[in-house]
Chain A
Amino acid sequence: MRSSESYLQIVGRRFRRNRLAVSGSVIILLLFALALLAPVLSRYDPAVIDVNNILSAPSWEHWMGTDESGRDVMSRMIYGARISMLVGFVAVGIATFIGILFGAVAGYYGGRIDAVIMRFVDIMLCFPTFFLILAVIAILEPGLMNIMIVIGVTGWMGVARLVRAEFLSLKEQEYVQAARAFGSSDLRIIFRHLLPNAMAPVLVSATFGIAGAILTESALSFFGLGVQPPTPSWGNILGSGYKYIDFAHWLSVFPGLAILITALGYNLLGEGLRDALDPRLEGSQ
């Protein structure tokens, strides 16, 4: 117990020393605060239409201007943060769960089971992911719930490969053989002994995955195949606002910037986590 504690302390210390990692976490914590406190922070109801105030430029009343229905863009942006945070976590949660399941089974049992699962991974990787997502969305109807599930179900292959590789090397180690000699069940060995030691790279890849999921959601919503109006998401604000880019650039600039900064935050955090969790990799990546 003591040694695991000190490992975490080491990780924490290395993480805090890493400027990129700290700035990434600050960005993400701020975004979470924004998402949680949306009703408190936004000065207007994001859904209220004001026909006297259509497409007005940023001002003291409307810091980010208003949209084509006269809705306050800043309030919509703040509520949009909820969507991005939610989609990132749920989609990556699903992907990570499936990936761990397949990767653990393949790596632990090896042989024919491993071969079948890994071929399945290869086949899934042949599909242009964005096309696969679009096709499934077209069949299932666009919507928040569906895109989270679809992004998750089409994004687990990397995790599966990672977990499998970790398991293949870990299962040969003496402590695992000892556990097996004591008569531990397969499930116990997988979940108690192997998985915790394989989690570091999974955590890192999940962090990068969140950035990817947020980018995918925004592209889907931009094209009208993601989060449906009137629910505001950064992607659909941009999608309905870019037509007015000539004279109402604020509808295109702010949402895009928000997506960029959010994805950047998660990528910085992932990079920092990788350096902190695995001292060997520092500088080389």
Chain B
Amino acid sequence: MLAYLAKRLVMMVPMLIGITIITFVVIHLAPGSPVDAITEMNPKASAEARENLKRIYGLDKPLHVQYVDWVRRLAVMDLGTSFTDGRQVLRKILDALPITILINVLSMFLILMVSVPIGIISATKQYSLFDKATTVFVFVGFAMPTFWLALLLMIFFGVYLGWLPISGLQSMHADQLSFWGLFWDRAQHLILPIFVSSFGGLAGYSRYMRSSMLEVVRQDYIRTARAKGLSENRVIYKHALRNALMSTITILGLAIPGLIGGSAIFEQIFAIPGMGKLFLESTWSRDFPVVMGILVIGALLTLIGNMIADIGYALVDPRIRVEGGE
């Protein structure tokens, strides 16, 4: 296991380098000098900001020197300062990150809690009414524009029924609330965002869980379990479920970039001050230091998430760590 861990860690190094190269290339896509392109479109960028940018990207030097300098700053987490308010980019990102991570983790939890049972029932009762109903849900889930879903829910639950708050993280009077009062207030604000951010994943994972269950129940060891007279419940929930869950958990890591990317949409609509909203607003105002910073950190988070998923997979499936995996 230790050898496997070490191997995975070593493999992260070229990935890290690749992530920084791609981010660096993206900022240099701007036609002409990046500083001109950036500042010309951003009236707020003062001469000072231009100098600031030149310092960060060292634009008077050859490209490879610029890259090395930038990575060196990145290594000590110097992401520069924001165009719009002059604050440290790292500070801005760290302020916005916790709420985004909280919502994504809760969404992931909700996705697993709901889609695993749905997948099992759909697979064990294939072509039943339940299976057909969830199939319809899955198709709608895949085709749903998230921002539209968010708007509809906001109007229905927030404005029409008046049950849930429609924006922000807490109510105006939040500071007068007791601990539990504040907890409930926050929870109410998070219901719609979490539901919207899970929606696509719910569809995808229900479908995935269903097919991996269907595949597992065709295996020989399930036939053996049935043949030796185990009850159907034991066969499904003990023998089949474990194996079907394994493959489902591995693809959880793959869902991270989608969840982070999606956060731009629902955070903006529900006015949640997270990383997605910060990113979207930074692209609007062409606040490039922030854009680049979030791009790198978002990719790093994904890399770490994938790593955790891989290690989890290696823990539950001995074959992976023996063979070294892919």
Shortest CB-to-CB span from B283 to chain A, Å, is 4
In the complex the two chains form, what is the Cα distance from A264 to B140 in whole Å? 7
Q: Which residues 1-36 of B have a CB within 8 angstroms of A?
A: 14-15, 18-19, 22, 26-27, 29-30
In the complex the two chains form, what is the Cα distance from A264 to B135 in whole Å? 12
Q: Mark B243-281, 1 if CB is under 8 A from A, else 0.
A: 000000000001001101110110010000000000110
For A131, A259, A263, the residue with the greatest tally of chain B CB atoms inside 10 Å of its CB is: A131
Q: How large is the interface on A (under 10, 10 to 19, 20 to 34, 35 or more residues)?
A: 35 or more
B145 sits at the interface (CB 8 A): yes
Q: Mark A123-161, 1 if CB is under 8 A from B, else 0.
A: 111111111101111111000000000000000000000
In the complex the two chains form, what is the Cα distance from A130 to B257 in whole Å? 9
**Known contacts A127-B295, A135-B295; A219/B151 CB under 8 A:** no
Report the nearest B residue to A285, measured CB to CB. B211
Instruction: Kindly identify which residue among A120, A139, A246 contacts B37, using a CB–CB cutoff of 8 Å.
Output: A139
B112 sits at the interface (CB 8 A): no
Q: Mark A252-273, 1 if CB is under 8 A from B, else 0.
A: 1001100111111001100100
Report the nearest A residue to B27, measured CB to CB. A139
Question: Which residues of chain A have C-beta atoms less than 8 A from B283's C-beta?
Answer: 134-135, 137-138, 225
In the complex the two chains form, what is the Cα distance from A9 to B112 in whole Å? 41
Report the nearest A residue to B300, measured CB to CB. A126
A215 sits at the interface (CB 8 A): yes
**Known contacts A119-B18, A129-B257, A245-B151; A218/B280 CB under 8 A:** no
Chain B interfacial residues counted at CB < 8 A: 54
B291 engages A129 (CB within 8 Å): no
Residues of A contacting B: mostly: helix
B139 engages A140 (CB within 8 Å): no
A136 engages B29 (CB within 8 Å): yes
A50 sits at the interface (CB 8 A): no
Report the nearest A residue to B152, measured CB to CB. A256
A31 sits at the interface (CB 8 A): no
Question: Which residues of chain A have C-beta atoms less than 8 A from B29's C-beta?
Answer: 136, 139-140
B189 sits at the interface (CB 8 A): no
Shortest CB-to-CB span from B163 to chain A, Å, is 17
A211 engages B143 (CB within 8 Å): yes
Question: Which residues of chain B have C-beta atoms less than 8 A from A261's C-beta?
Answer: 143
Question: Which residues of chain B have C-beta atoms less than 8 A from A245's C-beta?
Answer: 151, 155
Question: Which residues of chain A have C-beta atoms less than 8 A from B254's C-beta?
Answer: 125
In the complex the two chains form, what is the Cα distance from A38 to B257 in whole Å? 37
**Known contacts A252-B151, A263-B143; A219/B18 CB under 8 A:** no
Question: Which residues of chain B have C-beta atoms less than 8 A from A264's C-beta?
Answer: 139-140, 142-143
Question: Which residues of chain A have C-beta atoms less than 8 A from B292's C-beta?
Answer: 135
B142 engages A263 (CB within 8 Å): yes
A63 sits at the interface (CB 8 A): no
In the complex the two chains form, what is the Cα distance from A261 to B280 in whole Å? 27
Report the nearest B residue to A223, measured CB to CB. B280
**Known contacts A131-B295, A135-B291; A126/B303 CB under 8 A:** yes
Given A127-B298, A218-B145: 10 more A-B contacts, CB < 8 Å: A125-B302, A127-B299, A129-B257, A134-B279, A135-B283, A135-B292, A223-B147, A225-B284, A263-B144, A267-B143
Which positions in B face A, CB cutoff 8 Å?
A: 14-15, 18-19, 22, 26-27, 29-30, 37, 126, 139-140, 142-148, 151-152, 155, 159, 207, 211, 214-215, 254, 257-258, 260-262, 264-265, 268, 279-280, 282-284, 286, 288, 291-292, 294-295, 298-300, 302-303, 306
